[in-house]
RNA sequence: CGGGGUGUAGCUCAGCCUGGUAGAGCACUACGUUCGGGACGUAGGGGUCGUAGGUUCAAAUCCUGUCACCCCGACCA
C-alpha cells in the first residue's frame, strides 16, 4: 500500500485540548479527527488499527461459541419504557423523535433490543443456552467526554448477551467470557487486571471489570501484588479490624475547640491522633430524613458502600450545611454521635474504638473519652470506608497497592432483571414457563486502541503492539534526488514483501529523509526498512525495529526470511 | 451539575491592558536550489478575530448576553 493514498496527516504539534499521550499521539499521527465533543472520525490508518482490534475480539468471541448478529443503533422508546430505563437512565441517553413525534433513543447498550428479539424467537430450553454478540457504534451522552477516543460519546463496542434457564450454564458462560477477555488482552499484549466491580446502572449480581494499567486511567484499582485480590476502589472491601474493643478507660469530657473544625485541626489542638477521632457524616436516609455515618478520623467514606445500606438513600446524598442546620442546629465541624437523634451507622474501625474524640453537636465544642454503649447507643456496624494502600488484602494475601486503570471490559451476571420486566420466558424440560437468566458482556473496542497507546509509546510517538499495528513494515526510500530508480527499487521491495504475506506500506511521498523518519516514529509501525543509494549499491537493506536505537544492514535477498524470523521467532 | 479557564488562518500562538489598515512560525500552492533525522529562497492562497447586541467618528481590543470548547470534582466500554 502507498502511504500517500492513506490520507497521511501528521502534525508537529498537537492541539492544545489534547492532554493525555494517547490523545495527543492519535491526533498528531493523523489517526483520528474531532468534529464535536467526544465525536471523532477515524482516518484510514487509524481505522486499520481499529479493525485489527475488532478482528481479535470477534475471533475470541467465536472461539467460545458466541454468534454474531447486528442490532439497530436507533431504538424505540417503548422497549425502554418496558424495562423502566427510559426514566432511570437519565440524560446520558440521547433521545430523539421522528417525524411522527414517536420517541427513540440512540442505543447506549442493547439489553432491551436483545431481550425483545429473544422473547419472540426463543421459547424452548432446547434453544438454550445461547450467546450472541455484535460489534457496533454506541452513543452515550457523557457528562464530560475527554481524552479523545478514550472517553468518547460515540464509540465502538462489542456487546454480548447470553440467555439461560439454569444458573449453572450462566456461570459457565460468564467464566468462558472472562477467559475470552483475558485472551483478547493478552493477544494485544496489554498489562491488565481483572477486578471485582460495582454493577452500576445495568443492575444484576456478579460483575468484573477488565482494566488496562496506565497512568492516564480514570479509575483507581486496588490490588494485592503478591495475591489474587483486585477490585475497583469503589468496591474494594476494607480490611476488618482485629481484636475486641478495649474497655472504657477515660471519663467522658467536654472540651472547647474554638476554630478547630477539621479532623487534623481538632487532632492537633487536643494532641490526639486522628485515628482516635471520629468523623460524623449526615446523609439522606431511605426512610429516616437523615442518617449519621461514623468513620475513624483518618478514614474516607466510600460512597458506593454507603449507598448500598438499606437505611441510606441511593444514590447517596450528603446533606448540605443548610439541611444539617435544620436538624436541630447542627454545624459542620462539630457533629458527633453523642445525643444525636437519628440512626447511627459506624464503620467497623470506628466501632471498635474506645475513649475516642468526636464533635459535641455545638459549634466549637468536642467530647473526648467517648465510649460506645456507655455514652452513645451501640451503633449499627458496616464496612463504610475506602480501602487504603498498605491495608492487608481482604483475602489475607499480601497488602494492597493502588494503580490507575482504563476500563476496557465489563462482564455482568444480570439474572432475570430484564427478562422478567419484558416477559422473556421459555419452557423448561418439564414444560413450565420460566424467565430467562441473562449475562451481558461489554468490551470497548475503540477504547482499547487508546489504552494500547497509553501503555506503549515513547517521546517520539506510538509503538504499536504487533497484533494491532496498522502495518507490519514501513519501507522508506531516501535520496530520490540522486538515484532515479530509488522509488522503483522501493516498489519492488514492497511488492515482494507483500507477496510474502506481510502488510507493507511504502512511504512514496518523496520528502526529505528527516521528515519521513520522524513520521515513521510517530506512526509507530513495528518494522522499518530504509533503502538508500548506498544500500542499493551494496545490495543491502537497512532494518530498524521501532523499539531499537540503531540500524542493522540485512542482505537484500535475505530480507523476507529475516523479517519472518523477527516477527515469529522460533520457540 | 458545581468550580476554574479559553475562543484570532488547518495546527501552535502574538496582538487586547492603553480602540485607529489583522500578524508570526508550521502546514498549503507554484518555481528554483537542496536531499540520511522535521532545509532554504522567491512569489502566492487562506481569517466577517466563536456569536448577537451595546458604547464610540472608529471595536479583535471596552461593556452585556449567548454558544462552543478545555481543565478539576459526582457517572461509564
Task: Please state whether strand B lies within 7 Å of residue A152 at its CB atom.
Answer: yes
Q: Is the CB of A49 under 7 A from strand B?
A: no
| Average pLDDT for runs of 10 along chain A of length 571 | 93 84 92 87 95 98 98 94 88 88 93 96 96 96 86 94 95 96 97 80 71 89 87 83 90 89 86 91 86 90 84 80 80 88 92 93 91 93 89 87 91 91 95 95 96 94 97 93 81 96 95 94 97 91 96 96 94 71
Assigned domain for A203 exists: no
Mark whether A41 and A143 lie in a shared domain.
yes
Report the candidate in A46, A17, A24 with the shortest Cα–Cα distance to residue A445: A46
Same-domain check for residues A307 and A437: no
Give backbone dihedrals phi and psi of A142, rounded to 5 degrees, phi first. -55, 145
Report residue A411 as a C-alpha cell.
Answer: 462482564
Within 7 Å: CB of A410 and strand B? yes
CB proximity list for A145: less than 8 A, separation 6 or greater: A37, A38, A151, A152, A153
pLDDT for the residue numbered A122:
96
Beta strands in A258-326 (DSSP E): 278-284, 290-296
**How far apart are alpha carbons A389 and A238 in whole angstroms?**
10
Q: Strand (E) positions, A259-354?
A: 278-284, 290-296, 344-347
Copy the grid coordinates of residue A155: 464509540
Distance CA A35 to C1' B61 in A: 30
Tell me the CA–C1' distance in angstroms for A36 and B46. 23
Q: Is residue A136 part of a domain?
A: yes
- Would you state the pLDDT for residue A264? 85
In-domain check, residue A238: no
Residues A493 and A439 in one domain: no
Domain assignment of residue A87, yes or no: yes
> Is the Cβ atom of A514 within 7 Å of strand B at any atom?
yes
**Pair A32, A166 in one domain:** yes
Residue A5 lies in a domain: no
Is A68 in the same domain as A120?
yes
A57 touches strand B (CB under 7 A): no
Structure-block grid coordinates of residue A399: 497488602
For residue A312, tell me if it sits in a domain: yes
Tell me, what CATH number does A517's domain have?
Answer: 3.40.50.800
Edge-first strand listing for the sheet containing A356-359: A253-256, A365-370, A356-359
Same domain for A24 and A169, yes or no, is yes
Residue nearest to nucleotide B5 (CA to C1'): A17
Collapse the DSSP code of A121 into the 3-class scheme (helix H, G, I; strand E, B; otherwise coil) and give the result: helix
Q: Is residue A524 part of a domain?
A: yes
ipTM exceeds 0.85, yes or no: yes
Q: Return all residues near A176 (Cβ < 8 A) that are at least 6 apart.
A: A64, A65
Residues A347 and A425 in one domain: no
Task: Report whether A115 contacts A109 (CB < 8 A).
Answer: no
Does A145 map to a domain?
yes
User: Chain B: nucleotides under 7 Å from a protein CB?
Assistant: 1, 11-13, 25-27, 34-39, 68-77
Distance CA A533, CA A20 (A): 40
Q: How far is the CA of A311 from the C1' of B11 (A)?
A: 55
User: Which nucleotide is nearest to A478 if distance is taken from CA to C1'?
Assistant: B36
DSSP three-state, residue A88: helix
Q: Would the Cβ of A518 be found within 7 angstroms of any atom in strand B? A: yes
A59 and A167 together in one domain: yes
How many independent structural domains does chain A possess?
3
Is strand B in 7 Å reach of the CB of A21? no
* A488 and A428, same domain (yes or no): no
Q: Is the CB of A139 under 7 A from strand B?
A: no
Report the CATH number at residue A339: 3.90.960.10
**Of A330, A364, A382, which residue is a domain's last?**
A382
Do A421 and A340 have their domain in common? no
The answer to whether strand B lies under 7 Å from the CB of residue A145 is: yes
A282 and A378 share a domain?
yes
User: Residue A438: which domain range?
Assistant: 17-188+412-453
CATH number of the CATH domain containing A142 = 3.30.930.10
Strand B close to A315 by CB, under 7 A: yes
Half-sphere exposure of A6 (CA within 13 A, CB side): 24
Q: Are residues A369 and A432 in the same domain?
A: no
Nucleotide nearest to A144 (CA to C1'): B75
Using DSSP's 3-state secondary structure scheme, residue A152 falls into coil
Amino acid at each position: 500500500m502507498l502511504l500517500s493514498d492513506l490520507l497521511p496527516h501528521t502534525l508537529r504539534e498537537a492541539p492544545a485540548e489534547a492532554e493525555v499521550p494517547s490523545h495527543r499521539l492519535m491526533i498528531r499521527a493523523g489517526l483520528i479527527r474531532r468534529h464535536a465533543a467526544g465525536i471523532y472520525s477515524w482516518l484510514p490508518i487509524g481505522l486499520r488499527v481499529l479493525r485489527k482490534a475488532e478482528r481479535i475480539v470477534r475471533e475470541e468471541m467465536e472461539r467460545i461459541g458466541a454468534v454474531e448478529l447486528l442490532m439497530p443503533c436507533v431504538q424505540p422508546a417503548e422497549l425502554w419504557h418496558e424495562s423502566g430505563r427510559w426514566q432511570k437512565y437519565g440524560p446520558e441517553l440521547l433521545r430523539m423523535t421522528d417525524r411522527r413525534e414517536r420517541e427513540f433513543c440512540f442505543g447506549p447498550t442493547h439489553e432491551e433490543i436483545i431481550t425483545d428479539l429473544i422473547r419472540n424467537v426463543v421459547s424452548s430450553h432446547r434453544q438454550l443456552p445461547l450467546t450472541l454478540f455484535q460489534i457496533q457504534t454506541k452513543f452515550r451522552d457523557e457528562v464530560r467526554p475527554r481524552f479523545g477516543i478514550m472517553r468518547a460519546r460515540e464509540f465502538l463496542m462489542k456487546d454480548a448477551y447470553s440467555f439461560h434457564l439454569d444458573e449453572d450454564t450462566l456461570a459457565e458462560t460468564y467464566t468462558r467470557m472472562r477467559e475470552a477477555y483475558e485472551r483478547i488482552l493478552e493477544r494485544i499484549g496489554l498489562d491488565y487486571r481483572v477486578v471485582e466491580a460495582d454493577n452500576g446502572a445495568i443492575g444484576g449480581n456478579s460483575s468484573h471489570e477488565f482494566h488496562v494499567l496506565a497512568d492516564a486511567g480514570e479509575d483507581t484499582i486496588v490490588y494485592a501484588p503478591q495475591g489474587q485480590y483486585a477490585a475497583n476502589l469503589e468496591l474494594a472491601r476494607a480490611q476488618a479490624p482485629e481484636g475486641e474493643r478495649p474497655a472504657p478507660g477515660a471519663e467522658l469530657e467536654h472540651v472547647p475547640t474554638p476554630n478547630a473544625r477539621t479532623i487534623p485541626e481538632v487532632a492537633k489542638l487536643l494532641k490526639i491522633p486522628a485515628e482516635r477521632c471520629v468523623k460524623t457524616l449526615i446523609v439522606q436516609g431511605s426512610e429516616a430524613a437523615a442518617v449519621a455515618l461514623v468513620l475513624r478520623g483518618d478514614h474516607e467514606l466510600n460512597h458506593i458502600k454507603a449507598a448500598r445500606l438499606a437505611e441510606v438513600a441511593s444514590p447517596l446524598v450528603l446533606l448540605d450545611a443548610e439541611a444539617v442546620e435544620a436538624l436541630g442546629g447542627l454545624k459542620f465541624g462539630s457533629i458527633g454521635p453523642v445525643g444525636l437523634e437519628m440512626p447511627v451507622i459506624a464503620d467497623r474501625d470506628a466501632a471498635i474504638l474506645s475513649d475516642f474524640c468526636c464533635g459535641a453537636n455545638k459549634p466549637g465544642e468536642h467530647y473526648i473519652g467517648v465510649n460506645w454503649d456507655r455514652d452513645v447507643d451501640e451503633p449499627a456496624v458496616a464496612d463504610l470506608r475506602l480501602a487504603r494502600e498498605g491495608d492487608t488484602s481482604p483475602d489475607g494475601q499480601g497488602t494492597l497497592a493502588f494503580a490507575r486503570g482504563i476500563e476496557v471490559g465489563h462482564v455482568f451476571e444480570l439474572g432475570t432483571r430484564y427478562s422478567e420486566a419484558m416477559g422473556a420466558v421459555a419452557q423448561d424440560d418439564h414444560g413450565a414457563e420460566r424467565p430467562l437468566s441473562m449475562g451481558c458482556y461489554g468490551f470497548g473496542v475503540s477504547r482499547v486502541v487508546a489504552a494500547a497507546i497509553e501503555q506503549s509509546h515513547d517521546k517520539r510517538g506510538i509503538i504499536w503492539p504487533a497484533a494491532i499495528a496498522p502495518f507490519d513494515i514501513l519501507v522508506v526510500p531516501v535520496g530520490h534526488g540522486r538515484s532515479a530508480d530509488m522509488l522503483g527499487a522501493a516498489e519492488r521491495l514492497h511488492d515482494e514483501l507483500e507477496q510474502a504475506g506481510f502488510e507493507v506500506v511504502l512511504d512514496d511521498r518523496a520528502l526529505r529523509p528527516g521528515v519521513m523518519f520522524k513520521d515513521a516514529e510517530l506512526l509507530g509501525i513495528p518494522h522499518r526498512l530504509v533503502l538508500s543509494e548506498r544500500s542499493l549499491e551494496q545490495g543491502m537493506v537497512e532494518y530498524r525495529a521501532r523499539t531499537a536505537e540503531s540500524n542493522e544492514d540485512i542482505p537484500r535477498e535475505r530480507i523476507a526470511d529475516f523479517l519472518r524470523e523477527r516477527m515469529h521467532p522460533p520457540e
